[in-house]
Structure 1
Amino acid sequence: MPDRPDYAALTRGQIALLDRINSGEAGLAVLTQLVRLAQDVLGGRGAGFAEYSPGHGRVIAASGGCEHALGLRVERDDARLREGPRTLLVPITSLDEEFAGEIEGGDRILGTRCETGGLIVGFLYVSYSGDDPDPTTEHHAVLELLAANIGHMYGDQAGLPVHGDGPVVAALSDGLAIIDRHGVVQLWNPAAEQLTGRSAAEMLQRELHLPVPPPGQVLVHRLPSGRWLKVTAGDLPGTPAMRVVTFRDSTDQDRRHEDRDLFVAVTSHELRTPVTVIKGYADTLTNHWDSLGEDGRQEAVRVIGARAGELARLVDRLLSATSDDGEVGGSAAGPFDLVDGLRAAARNLPADLHRRLILDRLPAELPKAFGDRDSLATILTELATNADRYSAPDTEVEVTAAADDTTVTFRVADRGIGVKPEHVERAFERYWQGESADRGRNPGAGLGLYLVRRIVERQNGWVSLRPREGGGTVAEVRLPRA
């Protein structure tokens, strides 16, 4: 690590970021470039950014020796990250054990919280090895500058936050006005402009056009545009002559029920197919037992067994996906051979999907993984189905595997339409679906990746998506080594 930050690289990097933003780019792609810039300018072995959601964080951008942690869920209850100095240098051993294990070549991190509007939206960090001298006050200052850039991006809501849940998103999307005792607007935030269509220039020093409810009450108001707002108000602490008015869009408050209806409709369609096949073959066995012959009866029993397994997996998806807090069912965790488990899971795939999988690049041996071997059937089915949905029927879906000191990994890679950087985390949300060139060929309810993440994280692993070089998407699952 150099004695001073690379200010020339910082200048070039800032200009490149501004060029991308001015050209209309935003969100995760720009955030990832900023993380790489932090590593380059500060001479670290790696860098990363964890975005905060309710109760936890998740690594959504990383570079260098921190790349393995992409998609990893991390704890956010460390008081050092919320209080005291904005930047701090801490030994990796003092952090979450799983997170620390995925930082290659580093034993310390220099980190800083990223804030906007008084809210902590995440944590930016750079890792250093034992051979590197301690970062100087200049390194701390540059990291704070880059963190301020991230906070500004979140404040603009330009493709961020990546995750659509939690108080950070709600606070950033709430309209906020401060009015005096006469109802005249003294402050009008960007979200208020977006929600009402009225700019700060139009509203400042003018009477608020929204009704203001008494403290502790909620008032629903309809704008001329047809948008419904939920409005609340309260006194501004320390300034009794001022009031804070907040309002949020409630037009889509029934969206969850609509999503549930969509899920039930699509899942009902999926369930109907195996049930119809099972009943048909069972009726054939009952009515034509003697005429079928031994081979015919064996084939009917085989199809019934295969379809019953498919039906069981569909029912498990239904029960798991309709619960917000319940655990996804599974067997007890233990050591298992990942490659053998993947080959067995592939044999249970529908024939047309199995034919697309390329498994001959799997290694002959790997260290054993620790987890639920039986869950591989569900994980591989969902990842392969997702690859099938978003790629042409004649393209290959490649399955590979590898291991490092702490994890055993497998990847499912396609040559489909690819995943946009701003969608690599949204894809794991329940009911969310990307655009498919041929949705009708393989419809879904937007549950597959949501369930995969829940199943993998129950085994203390993590899963991530990323665009594939040359086109397509790579889904990567990491499980602990036994």
Structure 2
Amino acid sequence: MLDSSPNAVVVLDRDQTVLVWNAAAERLFGLTAAAMLGRRAPIVPDELTAEHHAVLERVRTGGQVSLRTKRVRGDGEVLDVRVDISALRIGSAVAGYVCVHHLVQADDAAKNRMARRARLVRRLTDVVGDINAELELPAVLDRIAASLTELTGADAGGFVLIEGDRLRLVSTYQLPDVPKGTTTDLHNSLVGKLLRTGRTVLLESEGLDDLVWARLKGLHTVALGLAAVGGRPYGALYAMFARRKPGHLELELLELLAGHAGIAVGNAVAYQEAVRQRAHERAVFDASADGIAVLDGAGRVLRWNPAAARLTAVPAEDAVGRPPPFPQPAPGEKLTVQLANGRWLDVVGARIEETGELVVDFRDVTAAKELEEAKDLFLATTSHELRTPITIVRGFASTLDARWDKLSDAERRSAVHTIAERSRSLGQLMDHLLLGARAGAEEQVVRDEPFDLAERVRAATLGLPVLSDRHRVEVSIADGLPLAMGDALATDIVLAQLLENAFKYSPKGGLISVSARPENDALVVVVDDEGVGIAPADRERVFERFVQVDSGDRRRFGGVGLGLYIVRSLARAQGGEVSAHPGPGGGTRMRLVLKRASSIGSDTPMR
């Protein structure tokens, strides 16, 4: 380090005997290290000896000193130098002094270089601002090529893109004979050489005759800077010199400009991508079969796609600036509305938080509504038709009972067991169908009176632990649970269905947890299982009629998809609600909310 230092380093002991005299000191003072080591150096003029001793004393007691002074060369020449002196310490003791000398002229030259560098950096800042003011990629690339010659003093410049294993010239400055779009092999190019070095800049003065786009008279040097976008090589800047020779400063400027060029190109690419994305969104918006509207904060239409005009029979020119011809849903809410023309729409909305706008999507569900009405008719008809086979089965059971002696014991038991099981299943199916039909027609009739929810929960869970040796049942009822307001019988049906589902959809067993507690002005019953669970997208669909969600092996559990539909119908008929959530043990949590009797002032029947 001492040998390669550009400054003269002289180390003295406490008696000012020379301990170190580096190569730069030999050059500066014209005295060799062999002659100086172990003696006092005759480099301080006599008239400055007292000042020199005072400075060393200040260093010994106070730290580092920097001063401009005179020193004498071995040939007698007086030098104008700057000396930085600091203490040489061993532990806390001062063992000597380290003196670093450099000519004042070198300081002035360094200051001039720094001033020039500062001017170039300011110019670079202006150029970068100019480049980033453009958003169209071709204009950005042209501006980069022009700025390259302006900053580095090059005679010509260009920008090439890296496209796989090829380079393509996309922008030139002062190279009129080289057309844009010219391509060449990346591997054999200077860009390929630069990439293989792992550096970001390259100065090359050999083999320039092979360059495809270096058609510049007198060309002797090419400076190359790599531009990266998103951390990956995107292209390169070529600075071509025919009249002056570039140095380190030009390379540094080229490297800085290449870095900023990567940023500017990245911005332009992002802008183009945003333009393309907007075009894609516009195409999707216009081509969507769903009606899509964008509403401002006041609920007025800003955009109205062709499908919206077709579904509502309201053209865009009449819709924009006015509220849509249907109620606006809250974000995340779905509304089913009927237009004046008789068409039914499902309407959903999503809020754009950044702008406060509401995006509304609506589709024609008229056919679905008609299908739903057909299902209602099917349910009503089927429920009546099922009464006949049930009556026959029960009658057959009575006949068997009357002819008991004519059948063998095994035949009697088998027949009776089969008929009883069949009757129970058919009766249960009939009840579900009837309840489903009533719920669809909004004909659920429930009472609205106080009842003991704790007693209903205990009755529903009584005996459950012995039903399965694979399940464990835990029941937790809050002390002093208030009375609920609603229908005790309907609540029994709801609880029975929720518990049946918990067992049925936990085929491998596990914990069935039932809890009842007050919550604000309501009472809450929670049923948790560790079964197959319900996918997030299906947690609302399971409450629709005839829905059997496809979740792994869930389809093998059977059923007609009416149980949870009836549960929600009965819960809502009482002014309550039921919902599905992920269970803490990986299964399902069903949450039933009922009114608290103490918070209700009326006990009239509800429909």
TM-score (norm 1): 0.42
TM-score (norm 2): 0.34
Flag the structure with more relative contact order, 1 or 2, with Cα contacts below 8 A and sequence separation at least 6.
1
